[in-house]
């Protein structure tokens, strides 16, 4: 269970769960983290709290023109302030997870079998990245290359700033994506061109590597397109 102590914690949760600042989505996310054991009256209180916080967070986000760096500078004190939770959930939001809530390395799930009885299958735990071989590391990291997340960028910037790396944190939101293509080409025993080459080598065995930039993007905005994408 992630901590929900400061305004920053809840803002990151809100941004990660709802791109449109929906207080209903925030309410559901909080309830799922503290357990669905609230009374009907407490649920109404918590939902109203989420509505007020969402509106306040959205107003601040809009006043900063939705720029992360500007948002952090303008509302640094507000972000670092502790949440003033309603008394009905105060003891729930920051409690440590119980033994039953802690994720286990091995989980057991029931699977249908061809017999009348129901068997169980133990799922293999996910290996740590450091324990993977080079091929497995590449396969897992490749899954992340094409994914963008403004929420992840915000969280990364906030943590860098907290650790004293303000210079790095300030440029995260300006990181651009360059899309390129690459390939190889050769002319083994094919056409020979009239180029002077010393020794016994000639240009019939040239092996070429090429990298062609195709597009430069900033989120959904295309800043540049290669007018001649062919190498």
User: How far is it, in rounded angstroms, from Cα 63 to Cα 57?
Assistant: 10
Which tokens in the block code for residue 121? 């299958």
User: How far is it, in rounded angstroms, from Cα 50 to Cα 41?
Assistant: 14
Q: Is 140 helix (H, G, I), strand (E, B) or coil?
A: helix
- The separation between CA 168 and the C-alpha centre of its own chain, rounded to angstroms, equals 18
The four Cα atoms 157, 163, 164, 167 give a dihedral, to 10 degrees, of -30
Domain boundaries along the sequence of the chain? 1-96+112-175, 176-194+202-225
Q: Which residues contact 108 (CB under 8 A, 6 or more apart)?
A: 120, 121, 122, 123
pLDDT at 52: 92
Q: What's the mean pLDDT in 37-56?
A: 88
- Angle subtended by helix axes 7-17 and 23-34, to nearest 10: 110
Q: What's the mean pLDDT in 90-118?
A: 45
Q: Which residues contact 174 (CB under 8 A, 6 or more apart)?
A: 218
Longest dimension (CA), the chain: 89
Angle at 4 between CA 125 and CA 101, to 5 degrees: 35
DSSP-derived secondary structure letter, 75? T
Give the pairing type, strands 207-218 and 108-111: unpaired
User: How far is it, in rounded angstroms, from Cα 156 to Cα 175?
Assistant: 13
User: How big is the chain by its Cα radius of gyration, in Å?
Assistant: 27
pLDDT at 112: 41
pTM score of the predicted model: 0.42
Reply yes or no on whether the pLDDT at 173 is more than 70: no
User: How far is it, in rounded angstroms, from Cα 178 to Cα 217?
Assistant: 7
- Average of per-residue pLDDT values in the chain: 71
79: nearest Cα among 152, 21, 18, 12 = 12
Reply yes or no on whether the pLDDT at 137 is more than 70: no
- 189-219 pLDDT, tens digit each: 555 555 666 766 666 666 678 888 888 887 6
Between residues 121 and 156, which one has the greater pLDDT? 156
């Amino acid at each position: 269970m992630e901590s929900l102590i400061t305004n920053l914690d809840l803002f990151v949760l809100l941004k990660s769960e709802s791109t449109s600042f929906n207080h209903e989505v925030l309410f559901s996310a909080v309830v799922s983290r503290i357990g669905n054991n609230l009374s009907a009256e407490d649920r109404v209180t918590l939902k109203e709290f989420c509505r007020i916080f969402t509106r306040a967070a959205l107003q601040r986000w809009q006043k900063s023109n939705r720029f992360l760096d500007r948002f952090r500078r303008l509302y640094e004190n507000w972000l670092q302030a502790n949440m003033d939770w309603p008394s009905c959930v105060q003891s729930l939001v920051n409690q440590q997870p119980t033994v039953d809530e802690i994720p286990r390395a091995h989980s057991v799930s029931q699977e249908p079998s061809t017999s009348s009885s129901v068997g169980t299958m133990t799922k293999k735990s996910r290996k740590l990245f450091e324990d993977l071989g080079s091929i497995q590391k590449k396969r897992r990291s490749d899954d992340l290359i094409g994914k963008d997340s403004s929420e992840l960028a915000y969280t990364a910037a906030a943590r860098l700033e907290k650790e004293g790396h303000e210079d790095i944190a300030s440029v995260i939101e300006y990181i651009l994506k360059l899309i390129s293509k690459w390939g190889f080409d050769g002319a083994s025993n094919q056409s020979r061109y009239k180029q002077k080459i010393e020794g016994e080598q000639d240009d019939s065995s040239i092996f070429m590597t090429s990298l062609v930039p195709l597009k430069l993007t900033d989120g959904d905005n295309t800043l540049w397109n290669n007018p001649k994408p062919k190498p």
